[in-house]
Structures are given as structure tokens and as C-alpha cells.
Structure 1
């Protein structure tokens, strides 16, 4: 702790800002230089501690590490630094904490809930921390993991419920914290999440009447809005025993006064709607009469009209002697309201009315009131009144229609606010009669594409959604206009459209067909994090839970769709789109390449292994084979289509999970017994990975299917496509070879078996890889083609040359065994070809090659080792230690590889391990498992190389002649 304080606290005690300190920019201490000059330099004033900036930058890197333990530790250290010195809580670092609240690991999410809550309690008056707490912690109430939900409920309990005191007892800063948080929850529109927390508190009896008493003391104070927010939320699950104070505030500050905040009025009205049953019968009747009087006088604020009518209807039904009597009374006052509204509308926007509306706010009240009243009494509105409201949305061309003289229309115009209210009222009328909906649905569809006003678009979307629920077939033709709103410039339109469409899909009113499914996936690239989170949450938590095959079914088609390739006989759904829809959702072309690939990666990340396997097969057969056979032309869209297919086949997300790096996340550190279960799950995963990769051939495992697919389908298609691209002189050959190199990481053995059977093919691919590498080196292109974003090693190139070299040696030895003379010119030609493709170090190892020719008898005893390299999955050829992991092996030439295989057993200087067995069946599992891992840190790579050398040494010392004869 002393050292941490000397880095993050002491230098900044009297500094105005962190950057002004002298030690802020200090880097890490150079220990190598210090030790090198230990004798010459004085050590009196040496301070080995780094500056704070260097440590913070390192932590920012660690919070994005692949390993859960590293991320957790970095975030914990960051939180501890904040606790030590408040000055380090910058917006940037707080945002880092919030971003990691969506971490894949449950333990990381739980840790951040605890850390942010501890910080909030430690710094309750911090200006920015409460905002980041609400944005990071509260959304985890919707987490699928129960442990995360429980952790957030605990955080809400200790920050809000435990700190609630009466207004006159507020003495500490923590007593003001609940009201600050409640205000932020309301501002950030998180009320639904807070209601979920209230529901959970009800189940554990955390909501009590004593809390209502405390909240009452804050009404009318600076915490007024937050107090009503809390009351309205608690009223959903807790009855207020004596709601007279609610009635009094409602009458004094809502109905008879316009001075209160509109949002506060909504909260008070909602609380009244939930609490009117606890009033006395006289108070209930008085309340109903008062509300009806204000509704008929149009003095009720517009947002409160619907809820006030609900209260009147409920009270009327409760005080009727019978259901029939209650219904008659309801129809009576509702019909009276409709009649009043019709007369007022005829006066303001009738045929003979002035073209200018004097009071548009009052007109909005007429329109909105008649819409709600007709919901209580359907069929009472005259058709002429409906036309008056519809006329407000008609264009000038429709208004000038002279074909129907009996329906003269009003010639005036109104603002967008009035039109938005008219849309809502017409939507309510459509729900009452299908014929009305059939007439008005085209009008709503045109509003989506023509109007520039946000409120009109949002209301039209809501209306079409409601109509779709009741009359689904009427809306199907207007789905393109609804989908186009997903790409609207206004965030509110995009958010509401996505929310409504997800609702329709979840409730099975819309079938998720193409191209609508692709349009929703396009929102994964939205500029707003909110939209991206909504889409990913819907697909992961809802869609895949019901339709596990949704992504795999449409994956290949998505490549055709996003590249706008319309010439395919099967994948041509893009033809179903109109010109505007196609232009709005277009992702074709090189400039939008990353947007397309982001969608592909997301789809692959959320697939199971068998789905990834199917995708690999279909990409090869439908796209790669289609190009090779001429079914897909390499036009502009065809070229990008093939590029995307090669990118997908080579990306890390398509690899089977058992073949991925063992350094990936494992949530093995959860509390409460979760760690033990996670360790069991990890052990099962490791066993499954070994089984998948290294199972013997006589067992029908997934590995057998994968191997068969690689041998029989993927590599032959790659080879055929390579010839086609070379024939066309296409630059995509480099992309294809880069993809083949990536494929080699997981299936080296299977590819080597194919190449070993065809030396000419192996030599040809080796030559192509050499040329590609030289071109990349000359051009300085580190990406190795357009599909690779990082450096790619020469795994396949070396494996191919190794196959050719070993094939020649084996044939030469077989000829010597039969007493025949090997053809030296072929060996010479092989040596020349290999030497020309590598560094000059090839010519520096002739001794081993000569010994291979001069002493065939001794090499005969060593043939088991190179033979196993060609046939056994556990051989050195497929080990990452020889081709990938070992830095030294990357510098080896074909001549050196050949010499290494033909050297005598006694000269093998690789370190051996006594625990390594010579039996091939026992050593198969280890190299195959390692070969599927990603490149690891240098220490791991060295150990992998050493392990492989051990296996090679033991195999050379104890060759199995019997097994060699079988092979």
C-alpha cells in the first residue's frame, strides 16, 4: 500500500491537476540498463517506481485481455486506485468501468457492480460517478444470469432503500444519495428496470408501509419528483393504505393547476390510478365527477387524458349495481364526450371553417379526447368526423380532388404536433373496424417515407404495429417502409422502430424472413451503442432461444445479400426489395467491407460448433465451388462476395470452439460454489477438445466428420478454385492462399495427407506460396492479402516443402532397398527447387543429405519417423512446435527439414523427457491439441517447441518397424 500511495496519492496531494505533477509522465524503470551500469553509477537516489500514467496505460490494456483473471485483476486495481485518490476518477476511466459491465464473464460483471457501488458509497457527492453507476450497474437487472441480478439488487438495496430517511432527518451525504439516483434513473429512462427491482423486493418483503411514510415527507421538497417516482413505482406492488395525500396533491397541483412539471403530473396521475381503490366510496365518486367535468371542459393536460378516462371508467364500473347498469353509465358519459368533440371539430376544421387554427393546443385536446372516448364506446363516431381528422394528414393533391363534391375538404393546414395527434386517434379508430384500417394503412405507410417530422413517424410506426397485431395481413405490404425507418437519421425513430419490430417478432406477429432479418442485422453497425445493444440482446437472448438455427440458415445468403449479388438462382432475395429499400440498406462495395464483416463475425460468434461446420461446408460448396464452376461470375459484386467468403473461412470466429486457443475465457472463478462447477465444466471442455481433435479413426466422433469434410470437400474445392483464378489472372489468388494458410492451423494433418499423395500439386502450391510471400515482402504488405489483418506464418509453405522432401527421400530409400539406383537428377532438381525458395542456409547442410544417400541401411531403421510424419496426426509435421510455435523452426529451410528427419538417432540433440512415450498412439493427442491453439506468448511458444522436440527424439530412438510395415 505504501508503494501505491507513493505512485497515486502522495505526488498529487497539493497539485491542482494530475497532469501538473512532475512524476506523472515518469515511465517504467530501466532495470537492464541499471544492472549493466551497476558498478559505474551511484545508487543513492534511484527510484524504481514508475509514474502513475505508465501504470494506468498498462491497466487500460489489461482490461481488454483475453483472460478473465487478467481483466478482473486490472479492474480491481483500477477501482482501488479510485478509492485511494478521487482525482483519478476521470470520465475516460469511469467509462472503461461501465463498458466492462457488459463483459462476457459473469464474475467480471459481478465484480464491477461491487466496485462501482463501493466507489459510490465512498464518494456519494462525486459529480460524475452516480451517472456512470446508473448506466453501468442498473442495466444488469436484465442480465440472464441470476447471480448478476442478485448482485444489482443488493447494490440498489444498500444505496437506495437503506439510505431512505425522513426529510427532517437527512444529516449525511448518504441520505441524499437515493434521491439523486432516482432522479438519474428517471432521466435515463430506466423506470422499467427499477420496476423489476421493486417486483423482486416484493418477493423478499423488502417493501414496507414504513417506506411510504418516509417518502411522504419529501413531497413538495427539492426531492418532489423523485418522491413521486418512488411512490408510483412502489404502488405497482404495494397498496398505499391511506392515499388521501395523493388525492389532495392530484386535485391541487395536477387537475386544477398547470404549474407542476409534466413528468411529475404523469407520476402523480399514475399513482392515483393505482391507489383509488383505497379511497372511501364518497371520495371515489367525487374524484370521478371532477375528472369528467375537466374532460368535458378540455382542461386536462394532453398526456393525462387517457389515464383520467381509465380512472373514470374503473370507478363507474365499481359503483354500478350490475354490469349492465355500469355499462350504461359509462356509455352515457363517453357518448357525451364524443358529441362535444364532434361539434368542436366541425367548428374548427369543418368545410366552412377558417383556414387558420387559432388554438392548436385545444384542437389537439379535441382530437385526442374523441379517440380515447371511442375506445370506450366503439362505433359512436360519425364518418364525417373521421374524414375531418383524416383530412389533416392529406396532401395538397388529395385536398384538391374535385371528383367528390359531397365531401368538400377543409383547405387549411396544421402543424406537425397536431398531425401527430391525428395519427394516434386514427390508429385507435382503425383498431375498432377492419374496413377503416384497410383504408388508412396506406396513408400511415406513406407518412413513414414522406414526412420529415420525428413525432409523426414514431406515431405512425406505433399505429402500424398495433394494426399488425390485430389485422396482420393489412400491414405486410408496408413492411419495407417500416424497415427503412431502421436507418432513419433520427435516433428516436430508429430506437422506436427497432423496439416495435422486435416486439412483433417476439410475439410471433411477424415471421423473421429475409430480407427483414438482414435489415435488423444491419443495425449492429449503428453509430449509437443503444441500438447495437438492443439488436444483439434480441438476437442472443430471444431469437436464438426460440430458433437455434436462425443464424446458420441465413448465413450464406447474407453474403449474397450484403454484396448485392442478384444473379444467383437460389440466393437472390435482394430482387424482392424496392429501389429505395435497396439503396438505404446497401452494404456493397469495398468501402463498406468492414461493416459487412462485423455482421459476419457477430453471427459466427453466436453459433454452435455444428453450425460453424455447416457454414464452412456451405461456403465452400455454394460460393467457392460456384466460382470455380462458373455459376458465380467474378463481377464487381461477385469479387467482393468471394473475398468475404474467403475472409469468413479464415477468421477466428468460424473455428470450432474445441480448436480455439486454450487461453480463451473460462468463468471459473464465480463465488458461491460456482468456481467448482466452472472447474468441472473446464475439465469437460478440455476433454471434449482432445476428443474432437485427436480421437482415433475407428471412433465415430465429430473429428472424423471434420476430417472427412476437409479431405473430401474443402481442399479439393480450394485447389479447383485456385486453378480457376489463375486462369482468370485474378488477384484473389493471394486471398485464397492466405485462407489456405489459416486453414492449415487446424487441419495440417488432413491437408498434408492430400498433398503427400500428389507431389506435383504440393510443389505447385509451395511455389505459389513462395511467390505470394515474396510479393508481400517486396510490397511491404503486412496484411497478406485483403482477408488477413495480422501477420501470418508460413505454416503451409513449410509443410508442403516438407512433404515433397520426405516423399523423395522415402522413394530413394525404397529403391535402395530393392537394389535399384535412385534417379539422382530428381533429387538434384528437388534440392534446387527447395533451395531457390529459401534462404542460402539450405546449402550449408549437405552432410545430412549425403549421409542419407550413402548409408541407406542406417536410414532404413529411421524410416518410421518420417513415415509417421505423413500418416499420423500426432507426428512432428502437425505439431505447432515445428512449424508455428518455435521461433527457430520458422527460419528452417527445406534442406534443414530434410536433414533433421534423416539424421542419425544418436545425433538428435533435442531435449528429451522421460515421461514421453514412444508409442505413436500415446503421443497423438498432445501435438494435435496444441496445433489448434493460437500463437501464445514467447514462454509458451518455447515450451511448445521443446515438447515437440521431445516427442521427435523419443520417436527416433524407438522406431516401430511393425507399424511402419503396416503403413
Structure 2
């Protein structure tokens, strides 16, 4: 049909052919589905007008985009990676053909495919979003790029990381130009604007680090070009410049820092209200490049910083400024001690909480320890906050106490229980609870043993009743602690953390997805799989059926084939056989938790993740190379090793009898559970037919159960027939005539003798 579509219009009616191809999008064969998507994708932007007219004719009055996008949306959810990739290409081609901003639902599909289990689908989705950013540079498209490909900088496949890094280079470093009024490309600045809006500085720093290893685009020229934009436009552009400069500062030894010093003095002396993020970023940039400053510049900058600390009330940049001042002259820190002691005296005399916070900030760089009375002020305020305090003052009190906890272990031991109690208090201000969570995270990086007994309070922040800001911060904090090795994912933290995989909030779900798919070992996932099935069905855990299945699916994606077969056996022993034992004991209705666990177990066993890999066809078509590539990239091979064959026999020995036994007990009750068991038993008898035939040679009870099950559901008995070895009266195999054997060719022991040439 693809060849017929390329013919002239009077040869064959293209709309009829295209309609027939469109019907094949739902074909049983995955190869045909993928091929149909590919042909329609080619027709959407075909060079010949009559082919494009045929596409419009097939669509009817609904329009070209609506029906094709709906078909592509169904295709990207297909179980085969080749079909998902072909549907993704169709979706990309349709969205690009209209040259209009795509809707959020279409972009969400592409973002979700960037985290697909198959590498070919992930690469195609990343390429599609990268191409769309350059063709349709809108804020929504850039947000989709940052939500999808940007997070794949931590992908387990180096190929995917290199692909994302190449796209960032094309968007950012290759397009940035020297500042000329209204004569530069807006694409890199839109990209940096998205970085600042979504607070993705860490992702940008990682991208710059990878770029410095793979190319030479992170160099002095980039700093020279960006420096022309700093201070030339507005605060928004300055913020974008500083975000990029701080990302490359540790990778480039830039000695001409005069433009940074000029911008700092201009920003410090400006009386107008500026963006509060500009000063901390400027000070951070100076901290990295301060070693290239001359002695005069270092002395003048240090004096200016100390004066600013003494007079300014800016709390957001106080710690970076104090750190930079101490870095410029580490031998002379008397100023920090004097300022801290002065603030302590004011705090003891009845000053407000801002003076307490100033003393705690200066204590981070002061060589002298803070007074014990300062910590007591914070603890008393946390226990009995003054009634006139609002959420901001309570949050400042928590932050100040956290500064002192970082400096001394004794202070951390005294204050950590107060922070945990504040996290449990749902009536406390959100700012105070958020700061308490961050303080406990900082304490855990230094004194892990103090926080481990209080970990339940941190996990409580992940509950759905907590504020969204607190849940997002808790997910990020736990992921950072797990990645750094300060915490281990043990139960019950494992159950709480894995529940985030089904969370509706992307900012809560993404850290858990990254850790589960890239960092956690498959042995750990397999070890806790059955426990998760039982835990998430407890009466105390309120989780929907779809959410539980999503969690199981993410876990099964990581497991190998042998681990999946082992998981089937464990589910049969610990869930199916346990339910059958309860029915044998005469129990009435199954407990609600066990009933829900049974439904989850049967759904998982019937799902595509538990299906055995199919063997390739002997006369496969050339298009089957996509199917083969999917098998290779997902670590599924078409032939089974000896260990896998052994596990298949174990599954047939354990799972099949358990399912048939449970069905025999529950068939009279009917209902959804019995219907699920029928489907599961039918699939098992088809998938493990060879292993079952080997087992029934020595197990007459299994033969009887299989025949009884097939008779119950109205299927002709196919096991234990007259040719089975269970029946001793089976006639022997007839003797068939054999063809005569060919004589073996004569073998010569040595080379043939050479004949003499007679002339």
C-alpha cells in the first residue's frame, strides 16, 4: 500500500487506501500497527498534494489534527516500543505541520515518553521536543523541554545524556550572541528564562559540566559574550546572565573579573528596588573567581562587604557575603566575632527575631562559638512562640536555630526533637514547617544518627494532607539524602517513598521516579515487591487501584526476566496459596485487605510485564528489526537460558496449581475475582503449555484439576489425553519405515599424490 500511495491519483483512489491503513492502527500484529503509523506519518507532510488531500478526506469534518492526534495518543500507550515510537513520530509530524502552539495535553504526552522504559522511545521523544523548541519557540514548549529532556541528563544510558547535551548546546551556546539592541536570537534567553522560572540551576550546571567534557563550547568566548548582556537590559536579563555565568564559572578560569566587580558595586549602590536573587548570585560568582582578583581589588571588596554586613538588612545575601568576606582574608575574622557578639547582646536585650537571625548567620564564619543563651532563645521561642509572631517570623526562628545546629552537635541534639514536633503540627505555619524540614536535612548530612529516629516525621510530610510546598520539598530532600548515601531505603520508608511513583504532582513524583529507575538496584526492588503488594492493600493505606498498578509497573520494568518469574512464584506462594488455605479452613468472605491484594496479584500476573518474550518468526519481515531492537534494549532475549528455563518450570509447578486450586474454591461465589482467575488460568495454560505437559507425566492430580477447569469454562480438554504417559494403557508409537542411510564419504589420511607430467 505504501507503494500504491506514491502512484498518481488516477491509478488508485488514495483515500480508500489511506482509510484501510488507518484501520490497521488497531491491528493485532505490532509490526502492522507500527508500519501503519509510519505510512500515515509519511502522508501527513507528503510532497504531493493529492496525498495530503487524501489525508484530509479521510479525516472528514473533524479536521486533520484532531483525529490523527487522538490515534497517536492511543499509539504512544501501546505495549510495544516500536509502535510507541511510530506513534510518537506521527504526533510530532502533525503538531509541526500546523505551525501553531501545541496544547498542553499533547506536550504532556511527549514529556511522559521521555521517561519511557525503552531507549528508542526516549530518544525519539527527546529529539521531537528538541526539534519543536527550535520550530515553535513558545514558553509552553520550553517548559515541556525542561520537564522532559532536561531531566534526562541523569538518564542511565550515556547515549541519551549525550543527546540531551547536544540539544542544549544547539539551543544555548551555539545561538548566544553579543548584545546588540534587538538584534540577537531570543531562543537562548527563553531557555534561560525557563531555567530561572523552574529553579533548575542544578540541571544547567550538570549540562555545562557534560558540555565541557564533550565539546569546547564552555570557554572564555562564552563568558565574553554573556558579559555584554549583564547590566545592559533589565533585571530579568541580568538574572539569566548570572544563572549561566555561575553554571560555567567553575569550568572556566576567567581572570578578567572587572565586569563582575563593576556590576556588584552598581547593584550595591542602587537605591531602587531590584530582584532579590541578583545579589546572592553575584556574590557567588565573585566567590568562584575571587582568586583572580588583585590585592587592591580583594582589599577594597572585603572592606565593602564588611560595611554592607554592618549596615544592610538584606537577609537573603547575608551568608554569601559573610562567606566571601571570610574567603578574601581568612586570617582576619575578628570582624565576624565582634558583629556576632554585638547581635547577641541586642538579642538578649529584647531585640526582635531578625537580630537573632543575624547573630546565627555570623556564627557560621566566626571563629568564636556563639553564646549558649542564643540557642536557648531559639528553643524557648519554638516551644512557646509569642502570640504576635506571624509565619515569617516563626520561619526565621527555625532557620536561625538551624544555623546553630549545623555548627555544633550539642545544639543539634537539643533542637532536633523540636523540629520534628513542628513537622507533626499541622496547624503550624507552612514556612516554619518547611524550614524545619530543611534544617533536619542539613543535620542529617552531618549527624545522621540524630535524624534517623525522627525519620517518621519527615515521611509524614509526604502525606496527601500536607501542603504541596512541603510535599515537594520532602520528596527532593529524601532523594538527595538517598543519593548521597546518608539514608538507606529500608521499610517503612521504602513503602512511603515508592508511593510517590503514583503521585499526581509532577514535582513530587519526578525525584522518586529518577531514584527508582536509575539508582535503586533491581535486587532491592525484587526483594520488596510482594511486600509492597500486601502493604498498599492495608486498610490504613488509602490508595486507588490504578495508582497501585502504576507502582507495580515501574518496579516490574526494572526487573529481569528471571526476577519476574521469581516474583510470580512468590506471589503464588504468599498470596494465592494463603487465600486458598483460608477458604479450606471454612472462612466465609475473605478479609478486605486480602481480597484487594488478590485482585492486584491477579492483575499483575495477567499484565504484559509478566508475559514471556515471544520467539521471532522464521519468515519475519524487514520491519521486524524494530521489534528486535526493542528486545535488545529492554534486556529481553528471544531464547531462554538454562536458568530461565528452570524458572519457567518452577512457575508451572507453583503458580498453575495455586491458581487452579483457588479457582476451585471461589468458582461458586462468582464475581470479579472468579472472572480474573479464569483469565489468569487460561493465560497460564497457554504460556506454560510445554512445562505443564512435562509436569503432568508424574502428577495425576494436576491433570484432573486442569481438565476440571477446562470443562467448567467450556473448553475442550487438551491435557492428559491418550498419548500422555499418565495413562499406562496408551498404545506404543507405530514403527515407520526409514530411508536407507547414505554411505559416509571416504576420508583420505593425507594429501593426494601428485602425478608426473609426461611430455
Q: Which residue of 1 aligns with 2:655?
A: 714
Give the Cα separation in 1 of the matches to 2:284 and 2:461. 31
- Cα 1:746–1:512 change in 2 (3 A) is same
**Structure 1 counterpart of 2:561:** 609
Pairing partner for 1:467 from 428, 443, 449 = 443
Q: Write out aligned runs for 1:71-86 (5 A).
A: 71-86=84-99
**CA deviation profile, 1:624-654 (whole Å, cap 9, x unmatched):** 3333344997322233233333333333323
Aligned counterpart in structure 1 of residue 542 of structure 2, from 587, 603, 624: 587
> Among 396, 401, 417, which residue is 1:426 paired with?
401
CA offset at residue 542 of structure 1? 1.1
> Hey, what does 1:50 align to over in structure 2?
58
Q: In the alignment, which of 448, 460, 477 is matched to residue 484 of structure 1?
A: 460
Q: 2:174 aligns with which of 162, 169, 172?
A: 162
Q: 1:205/1:456 Cα in 2 relative to 1: closer, same or farther (>3 Å)? A: same
Instruction: Indicate whether 1:501 and 2:478 are aligned.
Output: yes
- TM-score scaled by length of structure 2: 0.79
Establish whether residue 191 from structure 1 lines up as the match of residue 201 from structure 2. Answer: yes
1:437 to 412, 430, 442: 412
What corresponds to 2:531 in structure 1?
557
**2:519 aligns to what SS in structure 1?**
helix
What does residue 60 of structure 1 align with? 73
1:303 equivalent to 2:244? Answer no
Distance 1:184 1:83 in 2: 22
| Match for residue 139 of structure 1 among 151, 168, 181 | 151
Tell me the equivalent position of 2:360: 371
Instruction: For 2:613 and 2:432, locate their aligned partners in 1 and report how far apart those are by CA, in whole Å.
Output: 48
- Provide the C-alpha distance between the structure 2 equivalents of 1:282 and 1:89, rounded to a whole number of angstroms: 55
Answer whether contact 1:255 1:300 (CA < 8 A) is retained.
no
Q: How does 1:362-401 map to 2 (within 5 A)?
A: 363-364=353-354, 366-377=355-366, 380-395=369-384
Mapped to 2, the partners of 1:145 and 1:201 lie a distance apart of 16
Do the aligned partners of residues 641 and 141 (structure 1) sit closer, same or farther apart at CA in structure 2, a change above 3 Å counting?
closer
Q: If you compute each CA radius of gyration, which structure gives the higher value, 1 or 2?
A: 1
What is the CA-CA distance between 1:710 and the residue it aligns to? 1.9
Secondary structure in 2 matching 1:600: helix
Pick aligned residue for 1:743 from 684, 690, 698 = 684
Match of 1:644 in 2: 600
Query: 1 CA distance for matches of 2:608 and 2:556?
Result: 9
Q: Which secondary structure state, in structure 1, belongs to the residue aligned with residue 639 of structure 2?
A: helix
CA RMSD of aligned residues (A): 4.1
**2:260 alignment counterpart:** 246
The equivalences for 1:640-719 within 5 A come to 640-657=596-613, 681=632, 686=637, 689-692=638-641, 701-711=643-653, 713-719=654-660
Question: What is the CA distance between 1:481 and its match in structure 2?
Answer: 0.9
Distance in 2 (CA, whole Å) between partners of 1:188 and 1:291 is 30
1:462-519 deviations in Å (ceiling 9; x for gaps): 2112222333232222111111111253222112212222222233322322111111
1:390-417 Cα shifts (integer Å, max 9, x gaps): 2222237xxxxxxxxxxxxxx5541211
CA distance in 2, matches of 1:211, 1:102: 32
Correspondence for 1:171:
183
Match of 1:19 in 2: none
* Secondary structure in 2 matching 1:308: helix
Distance 2:84 2:668 in 1: 50
Matches within 5 A, 1:906-925: none
- Aligned partners of 1:612 and 1:656 also within 8 Å: no
CA contact (8 A) 1:659 1:746 kept: no
1:56 CA drift (Å) = 3.5
Q: CA deviation at 1:100?
A: 2.5
- Checking the alignment, whether the CA contact within 8 Å between 1:375 and 1:428 is kept in structure 2 is yes
Q: Which of 295, 304, 308 matches 1:290?
A: 304
SS at match of 2:382: coil
Aligned counterparts of 1:214 and 1:183: Cα–Cα separation in 2: 17
Give me the whole-angstrom Cα distance separating, in 2, the residues matched to 1:252 and 1:452: 40
Alignment-derived partner of residue 12 in structure 2: none
Change (3 A) 1:540 1:493: same
Secondary structure class of the residue paired with 2:719: helix
Which position in structure 1 is the counterpart of 2:508?
Answer: 531
Quote how far apart the aligned CAs of 1:457 are.
1.7
Alpha carbons of structure 1 residues 247 and 472: separation in structure 2 relative to 1, 3 Å? same
Alpha-carbon distance, 1:521 to partner:
0.7
- The 3-state SS of whatever aligns with 1:206 is coil
Q: Which 5+ residue runs of structure 1 have no aligned equivalent?
A: 5-24, 33-45, 318-325, 350-356, 358-362, 397-410, 566-582, 693-699, 774-796, 818-859, 865-916, 919-967
User: In structure 1, what is the Cα distance between the partners aligned to 2:678 and 2:402?
Assistant: 58
Find 2:292's aligned residue among 262, 278, 287: 278
Q: Distance in 2 between matches of 1:629 and 1:31?
A: 52
How many Å apart are 1:724 and its aligned residue?
A: 5.0
Show the counterpart of 2:243: 229
* Whole-angstrom CA distance in 2 between matches of 1:668 and 1:529: 35
In structure 1, C-alpha distance between the alignment counterparts of 2:377 and 2:17, rounded to whole Å: 75
Structure 1 distance, partners of 2:342, 2:631, is 72
SS of the residue corresponding to residue 167 of structure 1 reads coil
- Judge conservation of contact 1:107–1:669 (CA < 8 Å) in 2: no
Measured at CA, do residues 129 and 811 of structure 1 come closer, stay the same or move farther in structure 2, by a change above 3 Å? closer
